[in-house]
Amino acid sequence: MKIGILGAGSWGLALSVLLESNKHAVTLWEYHQESADLVLKHREHPIKLPGVHIPESVVITTSMEETVAGADLVIIAVPTQFVRMTMKSMAASVPADLISAVTGWVIVAKGIENGTNALLTEVITSEVSQITMQEIGVLSGPSHAEEVGRGIPTTVVAASENLELATLMQEAFTTDRFRVYTNDDIVGVELAGSIKNVIALAAGACDGLGFGDNTKGALLTRGMVEMARLGRAMGANEHTFSGLAGFGDLITTCTSQHSRNRKMGELLASGLSLEDALKQMTMVAEGVTTAKSVYDLAQKLNIDMPITTEIYRVIYEGKNAKQAVMDLMARESKPERG
């Protein structure tokens, strides 16, 4: 199988290693020529995925057409807020017949677009007329690039409205170190992967403030409630949020040393401004921008999401992180379910 990957960040690089190990022909697209040359020369990226060798057979290119041409699957691995721009560029530069020939488009970015509050499936279908929901899948779950690139056992979900495509994704990605389940709730999987990054910012803030396991356990549990509330309102299957794409990814992102979003929350809790905290990050923390989209959706749909609201206020209104936690604790008492 030929597989193209749009985006040579840490996740795109890790997936190129995984898929090459599964005997697929992999072409990896990098927007910046300098970064592409770096990986070509060293077969490694010392910042994005240090210590992980990119096999010689993985083609590194800055040509979208070369990446898409003849591909059975194309993986969209650029950061959320760049997906629309990337798809616009592809629609303008890649012949329509090459786009139409692709069997499936696999989203691995996790986030919701700012401004439109659109899920990435909506962004893609609105920008590329040849792509319908039947050709789109989402791969998500507890899967840090740093561990996948090193072959550490990982389990994820391949979601699509098209069961044949979900099964094709399962077959393409599954190895003895990378297990894939299928799921038909693509909206729930997208939302879970997006909102958990917002909750992870709160988890990092708790770490930065020196709180303990009690706090983290409560945060994850109530964060899951918020994820499911918004999911129900948007037509998702509530069971998705208790699975790998939901609770599995939430646990990993809120507790791991690899988590960019947890780290960003920790930096914000230390008293740094958003601008200064972003300067200390070498890669994108998707939760920062997604927090605004999730907050906007909650307001629009009248969904109670107190953790998301406080994180939004810390990031975009400059609220003190410790005060945000105290305000959460001081909310009106109520039944656990309701």
pLDDT in tens, 240-284: 999 999 999 999 999 998 888 999 999 999 888 888 888 888 777
Cα distances (Å, whole numbers) of residue 155 to 24, 48, 105, 141 = 20, 22, 20, 7
Q: Cα(98)–Cα(46) distance, rounded to whole angstroms?
A: 33
Cα distances (Å, whole numbers) of residue 316 to 112, 282, 290, 302 = 17, 21, 12, 20
Q: Which CATH superfamily is domain 194-329 in?
A: N-(1-d-carboxylethyl)-l-norvaline Dehydrogenase; domain 2 (1.10.1040.10)
Question: What pLDDT is attached to residue 147?
Answer: 96
- Contacts of residue 119, Cβ cutoff 8 Å, sequence gap at least 6: 112, 113, 187, 190, 191, 194
Element (H, E) at 249: helix 249-255
**How confident is the model over 274-319, as pLDDT tens digits?**
888 888 887 777 889 999 999 999 999 999 999 999 999 999 999 9
- Please, are residues 213 and 266 in contact by the beta-carbon 8 Å criterion? no
Select 2-184's CATH number: 3.55.40.20, 3.40.50.2300, 3.40.50.11890, 3.40.50.720.
3.40.50.720
Sign of CA dihedral 183, 166, 290, 118: negative
Domain ranges in the chain? 2-184, 194-329
Whether the pLDDT of residue 141 is over 70: the answer is: yes
Question: What pLDDT is attached to residue 280?
Answer: 82
The domains spanning 2-184 and 194-329 adopt the same CATH topology: no
Question: What pLDDT is attached to residue 36?
Answer: 95
Closest listed residue to residue 202, CA positions, set 265, 286, 108, 160: 265
Q: Cα(45)–Cα(103) distance, rounded to whole angstroms?
A: 30
- In percent, the amount of the chain with pLDDT more than 90 equals 87
Axis-axis angle for helices 213-233, 287-301 (nearest 10): 50
Q: Cα(129)–Cα(109) distance, rounded to whole angstroms?
A: 21
Question: What pLDDT is attached to residue 334?
Answer: 83
Q: Which residues are catalytically annotated?
A: 196
Question: What pLDDT is attached to residue 287?
Answer: 86
Q: Cα(22)–Cα(45) distance, rounded to whole angstroms?
A: 21
Kindly report the average pLDDT of the chain as a whole number: 94
Reported pTM: 0.94
Q: What is the mean pLDDT of residues 191-201?
A: 95
Question: What pLDDT is attached to residue 338?
Answer: 62
